[in-house]
């Protein structure tokens, strides 16, 4: 009797598994990589990075008038630390030398350059800090780093990024940072 019961259970599980397999395969029928629409292709993009609403994130302790602003271009040990942090957390999207990514015709706008060709230097340090802390959901998606980098580490990354800017960009950005401190 136990053998008969075991055999029946085996048939039930086999039938269930077969039914699951057939259902899965029928959902995928006639779809190969050649016939998928461009927007159906599974490709890594910035939309796969989870982000949270800023309301649910902790508020940084740093303020717009914080003495750590303006952030100066990194030198020595700060340069080395900023470079390591940038390479670990930013380079995948923004490029190892801050060159960014070209816009993707099949997906969202990609990560902008941080070097002198980009627009990072157009913003005061306070805005750049908030962008890293909270992330961005405009024209693509940048994840929030409040849970991955400390405030000091974010400032080190910003200081490293500034080493790619020319003197004119640094001067404009410094002026904008100081104006934001006086608001």
Provide the residue-wise pLDDT of the chain in tens; the chain has 183 residues: 566 555 665 666 566 655 655 555 554 444 444 444 444 344 344 444 444 455 566 788 888 788 888 999 999 999 999 999 999 999 998 999 999 887 665 556 678 889 988 889 999 999 999 999 988 876 557 889 999 999 999 999 999 999 999 999 999 999 999 999 888
The answer as to whether 81 is a domain residue is yes
Q: What is the pLDDT of residue 69?
A: 85
The answer as to whether 129 is a domain residue is yes
25 and 60 together in one domain = no
178 CA to centre of own chain: 28
Helices and strands of the chain, counted as H and E runs: 6, 0
Q: What is the pLDDT of residue 46?
A: 43
* DSSP for residue 69: P
Q: What is the pLDDT of residue 173?
A: 95
Q: How many domains does the chain have?
A: 2
For residues 115 and 18, give the distance between their C-alpha atoms in angstroms, rounded to a whole number.
55
172 and 106 together in one domain = yes
56 and 100 together in one domain = yes
Q: Which CATH number fits the domain that encloses residue 106?
A: 1.10.760.10
25 and 75 together in one domain = no
Q: What is the pLDDT of residue 40?
A: 38
Q: Tokens 């993009």 belong to which residue?
A: 45
Tell me the whole-structure pTM to 2 decimals. 0.66
For residues 124 and 26, give the distance between their C-alpha atoms in angstroms, rounded to a whole number.
54
Q: Print the domain residue range for 151.
A: 51-181
As to burial, measured by CB atoms within 10 angstroms (0-12 exposed, 13-18 middle, 19+ buried), residue 99 is middle
For residues 173 and 176, give the distance between their C-alpha atoms in angstroms, rounded to a whole number.
5
The answer as to whether 85 is a domain residue is yes
């Amino acid at each position: 009797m136990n053998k008969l019961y075991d055999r029946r259970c085996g048939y039930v599980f086999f039938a269930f598994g077969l039914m699951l397999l057939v259902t899965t395969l029928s959902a995928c029928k006639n779809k190969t990589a050649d016939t998928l629409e461009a927007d159906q292709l599974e490709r890594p993009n910035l939309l796969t990075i989870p982000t949270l609403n800023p309301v649910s994130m902790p508020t940084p302790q740093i303020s717009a008038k914080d003495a750590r602003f303006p952030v100066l271009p990194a030198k020595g040990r700060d340069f080395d630390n900023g470079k390591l942090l940038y390479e670990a957390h930013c380079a995948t999207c923004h490029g190892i030398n801050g060159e960014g990514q070209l816009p993707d015709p099949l997906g969202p706008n990609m990560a902008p350059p941080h070097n002198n060709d980009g627009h990072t230097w157009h913003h005061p340090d306070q805005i750049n800090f908030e962008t890293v802390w909270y992330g961005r959901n405009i024209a693509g998606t940048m994840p929030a780093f409040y849970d991955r980098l400390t405030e000091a580490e974010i400032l080190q990354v910003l200081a490293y990024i500034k080493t790619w800017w020319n003197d004119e960009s640094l001067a404009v950005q410094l002026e904008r940072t100081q104006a934001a401190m006086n608001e």
